[in-house]
Amino acid sequence: MIITDTHTHLYSEQFNEDKNEMIQRALDANVSRFFIPAIDSTYLPAMLDLEKSFPKNMFLMMGLHPTHVKENVEEELAFVKKWLDKRTFYAVGEIGIDLFWDKTFLKEQQYAFKQQIKWAKEKKLPIVIHCRDAFNEVFEVLEEVNDANLFGIFHCFTGTLEQAKKAISYNMKLGIGGVVTFKNGKIDQFLNEIAIEHIVLETDAPYLAPTPFRGKRNESSYITKVLDKLVDIYGLTPQEIAEITTQNSKDIFKI
């Protein structure tokens, strides 16, 4: 059985003390494909080190995270473009709009989002969307840029059934993680109305640990708790969930 974690920050400082052991726990749990989102230029060395240490398992993305869109947005975007032109990445992400922490740079976030979508289309790459308190703003951009070359993953989907269907209409898979196991997560109440062909698994480690680890550091091995919840929701076996969601990830990332 192969399980794919489509979104995990394994280079996070929270793993500095036990990174190799934590990754081995995931490998022992049949998690063997890890897709690594970018945040900003400062994290790339750690991402490259991760890839060098586990070349058969780590698949890197390149992008500027919306919460890291600041006054130096042009400089950071130039860095993204330079690296997209320099080597292979498997997605442009994570990109999008986040209005939870700060609305100061909304215009800059919108600009960065559109620019990076443009580069993804030019490279024929998927996008991986970060959306927090910004569904309307994200959908507004997607509507503007929607065409046959737009595809990707709506990372950490936490919206409504209507928003799920809208995201899928833009050729997005839904990234389902620990939130689906929360009592107040809500998405578990309607996910069975979404065909599993639209679903990929993720952890967003070290964030959003699933029940029973909620509130603690998340890690990729915990994706089995997400998989178990989808077994309950869809009435399929763990093997079937793993196979279908891994195939969905291959359809997106082309690997």
Tell me, what's the pLDDT at 59? Answer: 98
Tell me, what's the pLDDT at 101? Answer: 85
Residues composing the chain: 255
Tell me, what's the pLDDT at 222? Answer: 98
Tell me, what's the pLDDT at 112? Answer: 98
Q: What CA–CA distance (Å, rounded) separates 37 from 90?
A: 10
CB 32 within 8 A of CB 3: yes
Question: For residue 39, what are the contacts with CB-CB under 8 A and spacing of at least 6?
Answer: 9, 64, 65, 68, 94
Using a 10 angstrom Cβ sphere, with 0-12 exposed, 13-18 middle and 19 or more buried, the burial of residue 48 is middle
The β-bridge partners of 60 are 36
Read out DSSP for 64-113? Answer: --GGG--TTHHHHHHHHHHHHHHS--S-EEEEEEE-SS--TTHHHHHHHH
Model-level pTM greater than 0.75?
yes
Helix (H) or strand (E) holding 201, with range, is: strand 199-201
Tell me, what's the pLDDT at 102? Answer: 87
Tens digits of pLDDT across the chain (255 residues) = 999 999 999 999 999 999 999 999 999 999 999 999 999 999 999 999 999 999 999 999 999 999 999 999 999 999 999 999 999 999 999 999 999 988 999 999 999 999 999 999 999 999 999 999 999 999 999 999 999 999 999 999 999 999 999 999 999 999 999 999 999 889 999 999 999 999 999 999 999 999 999 999 999 999 999 999 999 999 999 999 999 999 999 999 999
- Domains of the chain in start order, with CATH, are 3-253 (3.20.20.140)
Looking at the chain, which runs of residues are DSSP E strands?
Answer: 3-5, 31-36, 58-60, 92-98, 127-132, 152-154, 172-176, 199-201
Tell me, what's the pLDDT at 185? Answer: 86
Question: For residue 125, what are the contacts with CB-CB under 8 A and spacing of at least 6?
Answer: 89, 90, 91, 92, 119
Backbone CA torsion sign across 114, 120, 124, 129:
negative
> Would you call 191 helix, strand, or coil by DSSP?
helix
Retrieve residue 210's tokens: 């699933």
Whole-angstrom CA distances from 78 to 42, 81, 202 are 14, 5, 28
